[in-house]
Structure 1
Amino acid sequence: MNQKIKTLKIIHLALVAGVTLAYFLIGDFKNILNLEIDDSSLIYSFIPAVAYVLSNFIFKKVLKNIKKDTSDDEKFMIYQNASIYKWAVLEVACFSILFLKPDFILFGVILLFYMILLAPKEEKIFPLLEIRK
């Protein structure tokens, strides 16, 4: 099981590293606090909220596929898929902000920090999936 968690951590690290690298190469951090929200850019301010809600919804919906008689390996496989879906939604939102509305880079950075906080940890995974060490 530890090897599977390490694999999931590597996947998470790769996703976070890709977004972080893109933000450092393309992002304009000089104007990070200069947010001007007008009628035409209002829709872009909802991207982080929609990504947060959608990613959590998908994560919980996929985890509902776990049945009580499911083996630990199958539980973890479902958890891994759910996590990847969740991170992918957040990654798409980060890239959408970066490329569609670079003025809102602050929102993308906040999503990136949230994504970093979602790093897989045994202390969270085992109780959630009801797996014994």
Structure 2
Amino acid sequence: MSAKPSEFFKTLSIIHLALVGGILAFGIFKFVNNGTFVANADPDDIFIYVIPVVAAFCYFMSQFMFKKQLQAIKREDNLSLKMSKYQAASIIKYVFIEAPAFLAIIAYGFNGNALFLVIAIFLLVYLFMQKPSQRKFLEEAPLTIEDKKEFKNSNR
């Protein structure tokens, strides 16, 4: 196997943390610079309709694409290939969550509508909860008994 599972998860965790940190930093930056927190909804604002729909769509797409990518992993693949495909599937899932969060923060920057900031916060919390772990990999990836043994032995 080319990479140890601990190195694989360290890399994936760094990517995950960078995405979460980027959204958090951008959100704080926009909140500090904007200084407003408007709680009323302007019906003429197109973002009031677009942001919630995009956020919900991307949430469901993140789940759908992740599961579709996992189904593409063949049981015959070696463990290293399974780990790299799992990593790609996870990154795609993260991006589908990150993109609408950034869009919501940008929309918040335009008019200070609290709804957009709340949507971004919920997406950020959800993305944070998607933190990669070895337990999740063992549960979600289609691993054979040999793969699980190799995974545990190579992790020592």
Structure 1 and Structure 2 fold alike (TM over 0.5): yes
Alignment identity in percent? Answer: 29
Aligned to 2:137: 125
CA–CA distance in structure 2, aligned partners of residues 35 and 23 of structure 1: 20
Aligned to 2:41: 36
Q: Is the CA contact (8 Å cut-off) linking 1:52 and 1:90 kept in structure 2?
A: yes
**Structure 2: unaligned runs, 5 residues or longer:** none
Aligned to 1:26: 30
- Which residue of the other structure, out of 47, 57, 64, is the alignment partner of 2:54? 47
Q: Aligned pairs, how many?
A: 132
CA–CA distance in structure 1, aligned partners of residues 117 and 36 of structure 2: 10
CA–CA distance in structure 2, aligned partners of residues 30 and 58 of structure 1: 36
Aligned to 1:57: 64
CA–CA distance in structure 2, aligned partners of residues 29 and 108 of structure 1: 17
- Which residue of the other structure, out of 7, 13, 25, is the alignment partner of 1:9? 13
17-26 or 91-100, larger mean C-alpha shift: 91-100
- Which residue of the other structure, out of 69, 77, 84, is the alignment partner of 1:70? 77
Instruction: Answer with 1 or 2: which has the greater Rg.
Output: 2
1:30 Cα deviation (Å)? 5.6
Q: Deviation per CA, 1:2-51: give whole Å up to 9, x if none.
A: 1111110011001110110000111257627x252636422222122111
Q: Is the CA contact (8 Å cut-off) linking 2:51 and 2:100 kept in structure 1?
A: no
CA–CA distance in structure 1, aligned partners of residues 40 and 135 of structure 2: 38
Q: Is the CA contact (8 Å cut-off) linking 1:44 and 1:101 kept in structure 2?
A: no
Q: Is the CA contact (8 Å cut-off) linking 1:54 and 1:89 kept in structure 2?
A: yes
